[in-house]
Amino acid sequence: KTGSGASKTEVIKDLFDGKKHKDNKAIFQTILYCLLLTPSSDGAKTIQPGISWMKNLYNDDYNTDIYTKVDKKYTLIDFLAIKEEFEMELSYIIDEIFDPAIDFIQTPNEKTCLYCTFKNLCNR
């Protein structure tokens, strides 16, 4: 990743919280890639996702580890251990997007729209 973000999340559900998106987007993206690659990893006992932060590449303490809290302590994420929860949360979001009973609403924060690909669709 060339940008910035967090390498820790309190809980997996936070990855789906729009208010925490800026910090968690790299973790979310990495875990989504794990989900997409899961069929090709049949038989794996663990899948440990990681983020390569280019800006920290030459730091002495450089690492790619990402963590979530387990029993009040940050623990390396094992994708296979969180896969079911991640899929469930992703399913909720997708169901909400396609639910005709739930209207799309514009964000009250217009700064969010500055670089949005869809700003013309919502007249921003």
Instruction: Give one DSSP letter per residue of 22-38, joined into a string.
Output: HHHHHHHHHHHHHHHHG
- pLDDT in the model for residue 66: 96
**Higher-confidence position of 87 and 41:** 87
Please state, in angstroms and as integers, the Cα–Cα distance from residue 1 to each residue in 4, 7, 55, 56, 65, following that order: 7, 12, 8, 10, 13
Residue 33 pLDDT more than 80?
yes
Q: How does residue 38 score in pLDDT terms, banded at 50, 70 and 90?
A: confident
Its pTM stands at 0.83
Please, which residues have CB within 8 angstroms of residue 90's CB and are 6 or more apart in sequence?
A: 16, 32, 35
Q: What is the mean pLDDT of residues 58-73?
A: 92
Reported as a pLDDT band with limits 50, 70 and 90, residue 41 is: low
pLDDT tens track for 110-120: 888 888 888 88
Q: How confident is the model at residue 18 (pLDDT cuts 50, 70, 90)?
A: confident
Mean pLDDT over 5-31 rounds to: 92
What pLDDT was estimated at residue 21? 83
